[in-house]
Amino acid sequence: MKNGNYRLIIIVPLIFIGAIRCTYYTNPVEDIVIPPPPLAYVGSEACKSCHEGIYETFKKSGHPYVHAKVEDGKPPEYPFTSIDFVPPHFSNKWDDITYVIGGFAWKYHFTDNDGYIYTGEDAQYNFQNQSAVSFHADEAPGTKKFTCGRCHTTGWKSIEDGGAPKDDLPGMGGDYFTGGVQCEACHGMGSVHAFTRSPDDIESVSDATLCGQCHYRNEDHSIAAANGFIKHNTQFDELQSAGHKTLACVSCHNPHASVQHGQTEGIIKECTECHDDLKNPTHRGADCVTCHMPNATKSAVVTNKYVADISTHIFKINPDEDGEMFNEDGTIAKGETGVTLGYVCYQCHKDSEGVGGDKSTKTLKQLSDLAKDFHE
């Protein structure tokens, strides 16, 4: 204050407001290990997400369709065939049928509403000659249980092993995850592999024993036969019987592909890739497979006494004119001595009675003389 005058001095504090920068610190946290799920089946669709190409090829093979369910009164769908025939026994058509067994290439069977495999007249349908034939005619319908799940389903557990009848049907001899031979039938349960994506967490067997779990009939691995032909589904026993026992099935086959319906992806190696030193690899239009894998095995249809509908996997040929292919009662094929000349040569030539192909008549002696030095 001066001279009576008041001077008001207002001191305004200067407030510096700076940009406030907040820094957040994240404390390091140790990795949390999430354990894989329990081992379980996940289904082939789960495999498709990573293996789409293999899956699409596989779905055009026969394995997924060896046991297919009838749903909503409609037959199962197949990539190349149409399942139209229904035995007259089933008056309500597909409403009386629970499953179809087969149906991809050679034939198919049925299970009734109680799960029993249908037997008797018109119980099997053959594609090749479009005919219905009898199946286990000595067994009354409604008595033959479905016990084929080990090779026709995925995740089979028989009643003897603690399984319950599938769908509570008394004719079903066990339970399973899903019908058909799906991915996990050969590769094992896929839940852990689907989680980790590691090849260490899935089965991958490349030797013949994997296929041999189903492609055999007799427990001693002798080659089952009947009515002058090898029985179907004996490829493992045939392969093990003669000169190619060291081969794996996947040496020549793509296990995910088929050779039926004009498909070619199923064969990955030709004979001449290993046997490139042999002379006469062809004979008037015949190749290695024609002679070394004749149709001496029967699934559904027989053309004549030398030709059925499946190629044998014995490969070895018995060139003796008096060679015997079967044991005395015709129930076992002698794979170790090879396929006899009748099955090999009479595909094209004719025997003395005119049975066989449409080319010239040849005696077994003539054929034997030619066969013994064929590759020399």
Position of tokens 């040849």?
362
| Mean per-residue pLDDT of the chain | 91
Q: What share of the chain is helix, strand, coil (3-state, %, to 5)?
A: 20, 20, 60
For strands 157-158 and 67-69, give the pairing.
unpaired
pLDDT of residue 116: 98
Position of tokens 């669709």?
45
Contact 348, 359 (CB under 8 A): yes
* pLDDT tens figures, 191-236: 999 999 999 999 998 889 999 999 999 999 999 999 999 999 999 9
pLDDT at 281 over 80: no
C-alpha atoms less than 13 angstroms from C-alpha of 368 in its C-beta half-sphere: 10
Burial letters for 273-305: b for 16+ Cβ neighbours within 10 Å, e otherwise? eeeeeeeeeeeeeeebebbbbbbbbbbbbbeeb
User: Which candidate, 88, 72, 142, 134, places its Cα nearest to that of 109?
Assistant: 134
Contact 83, 41 (CB under 8 A): no
Calpha distance 370→77 (Å, rounded): 48
Mean pLDDT of the 50-69 span:
98
For residue 242, name the pLDDT band (cuts at 50, 70, 90): confident
Contact 66, 181 (CB under 8 A): yes
Mean pLDDT of the 84-90 span:
96
User: Which candidate, 240, 186, 251, 187, places its Cα nearest to that of 218?
Assistant: 240
For residue 96, name the pLDDT band (cuts at 50, 70, 90): very high
pLDDT of residue 54: 97
Calpha distance 333→216 (Å, rounded): 13
Calpha distance 289→208 (Å, rounded): 20
For residue 6, name the pLDDT band (cuts at 50, 70, 90): very low
Query: Lowest-confidence range among 11-15, 47-51, 318-322?
Result: 11-15
pTM of the shown model: 0.87
Integer CA distances (angstroms), 106 to 260, 261, 308, 336, in order? 10, 11, 11, 28
pLDDT at 12 over 80: no
- Angle CA 233–183–127, to nearest 5: 40
DSSP string over 234-292: -HHHHHHHSTTTT--GGGTB-TT--SSTT--TTB---GGGT-TT-S---BTTB-HHHHH
Calpha distance 45→189 (Å, rounded): 13
Integer CA distances (angstroms), 142 to 14, 23, 98, in order? 102, 79, 13
Give 276's contacts (C-beta < 8 A, 6+ positions apart): none
* pLDDT tens figures, 270-280: 998 999 888 87
For residue 10, name the pLDDT band (cuts at 50, 70, 90): very low
For residue 16, name the pLDDT band (cuts at 50, 70, 90): very low
Give 205's contacts (C-beta < 8 A, 6+ positions apart): 186
pLDDT at 112 over 70: yes
Beta strands in the chain (DSSP E): 67-69, 97-102, 107-112, 120-126, 131-135, 153-154, 157-158, 174-175, 178-179, 223-226, 229-231, 297-298, 317-318, 332-333, 339-340
pLDDT of residue 28: 57
pLDDT at 89 over 60: yes
Contact 325, 343 (CB under 8 A): yes
Contact 229, 331 (CB under 8 A): no
pLDDT of residue 27: 52
Region label for 107, one of left (φ > 0), alpha (ψ between -120 and 50) or beta (otherwise): beta
Sketch the domain layout of the chain as residue ranges: 44-187, 206-273+280-376
Would you call 298 helix, strand, or coil by DSSP?
Answer: strand
For residue 32, name the pLDDT band (cuts at 50, 70, 90): confident
User: Which candidate, 81, 101, 132, places its Cα nearest to that of 260?
Assistant: 81
Tell me the percentage of the chain whose pLDDT exceeds 70.
Answer: 92
pLDDT of residue 4: 44
Calpha distance 146→134 (Å, rounded): 17
* pLDDT tens figures, 343-362: 999 999 999 999 999 999 99
pLDDT of residue 212: 95
Mean pLDDT of the 355-373 span:
94
For residue 243, name the pLDDT band (cuts at 50, 70, 90): confident
pLDDT of residue 25: 46
